[in-house]
Structure 1
Amino acid sequence: MSHDPARASAIADLMSAGRETSRLSTVLRYAIAERLGLAVSDLECLDFLADVGSATAGQIAERTNLTTGAVTSMVRRLQQAGYVTAERDPADRRRVVVTMRPERIADLERPYERFAERAERLVEGYSAEEVGLLVRHHGRLQEMYLAELDHLRGGGTPQPSV
């Protein structure tokens, strides 16, 4: 821990800003999900699939922190709404592979367009070094989140990642 009061204050401000950003991100996700007529877990699933293309129901359960039964219900809802397809894995018929329908990605991106444009303008004001710092920071935060999720799910003691 730092004994420099200015550094300690800056770190406290950073932690506070991070918590507020997290809260606002959650509220925004709920508002977008509501606008699309989806549950937040549905939106998280679709966001994940938009990034990876296809995933098994088990992978979706892991990424959304839902039970496999809840994922099954969610996939049915998303199929009925026309967002995804779900097919048996030819290599392992017990598994279901869920795929985002590419023609529906634009529907999901539309509510984010204004925010994305503003975020792009914000980042344009940063140097390449500053952007690199932010990328490294977010990568480390993601590692910490994954370690905490593993711990909360009974996978052991989380290891600090820095």
Structure 2
Amino acid sequence: MSDEPARASAIADLMRAGREMSRLSMVFRYAIAERLGLTVSDLECLDHLADTGPATAGQIAERTNLTTGAVTSMLRRLQQAGYVSAERDPTDRRRVIVTLRPERVADLERPYERFAQRTAQLIEDYTAEEIRLLARHYERMQAMYHEELDHLRDSDTPPRSA
């Protein structure tokens, strides 16, 4: 007897759970951004800087999928709000290096504290092997998202009108 129906059902459950997790993650991000008086793009930019360190405006545009003009406006807002500093690259004056201001990191982390504590409790009973499986899954999903974003950016197909 084949295990195919059970596997197909498990895959459908996984896909459904992934879509719901993605949706809830987005709703959560919007709520956090609103609480901080930011847009979701602002928050994505700040998260990127927190994860990777200083970045150019072009790198931020790529990460957030915004135009360079939109990134320029966003960076102006974030500078005025005191979240980032932006300095000309000394080796290439055409580029701007954006840095998250360390004194603002706690402000950005505070809304996530409860979620981080609950996540730690959630995985408390997971084995190291189970956690590594989840980490591999997330890493593979991230790689796939990057590939799909590149494909969408490079595609000759124009966006569909609503």
Report the TM-score, using the length of structure 1 for normalisation: 0.93
CA distance in 2, matches of 1:79, 1:46: 11
Rounded to whole Å, the distance in 2 between the matches of 1:135 and 1:106 is: 25
Aligned to 2:66: 66
What residue in structure 1 maps to residue 6 of structure 2? 6
1:123 CA drift (Å) = 1.4
Match for residue 100 of structure 2?
A: 100
Query: CA separation in 2, counterparts of 1:33 and 1:10?
Result: 34
Aligned residue number for residue 22 of structure 1: 22
For 2:126, what is the secondary structure of its paired residue?
coil
Deviations 1:20-77 (A, max 9, x none): 0000000000000000000110000001111112000000000000000000000000
Alignment match, 2:139: 139
**Aligned-residue CA RMSD in angstroms?**
1.3
Shift, 1:124, TM fit: 1.4
Instruction: Report sequence identity in percent.
Output: 77
| Superposition TM-score, scaled by structure 2 size | 0.93
Matched residues in 2 for 1:104 and 1:125: separation?
A: 33
Task: Indicate the residue corresponding to 2:36 in structure 1.
Answer: 36
Report the AA paired with residue 77 of structure 1: R
The offset of 1:3, in angstroms, is: 6.6
| Alignment partners' CA distance in 1, 2:98 and 2:139 | 26
Corresponding residue pairs, total:
155
Q: How does 1:44-83 map onto structure 2 within 5 Å?
A: 44-83=44-83
Distance in 2 between residues matched to 1:11 and 1:79, nearest whole Å: 45
Q: Secondary structure at the match of 2:95?
A: strand
Alignment-mate amino acid for residue 124 of structure 1: E
Q: In structure 1, how many angstroms separate the alpha carbons of the residues matched to 2:146 and 2:17?
A: 21
In 2, Cα distance between equivalents of 1:95 and 1:112? 32
In 1, the alpha carbon distance for the partners of 2:122 and 2:92 equals 46
5+ residue gaps, structure 1: 157-162
Deviation at 1:154, TM superposition (A): 0.7
* Letter in structure 2 aligned against 1:67: T
The yes-or-no answer on 1:117 pairing with 2:128 is no
5 Å-filtered alignment, 1:143-158, equals 143-154=143-154
Deviation at 1:106?
0.4
Counterpart of 1:159 in structure 2 is: none
Structure 1 segments of 4 or more deviating over 6 A?
none
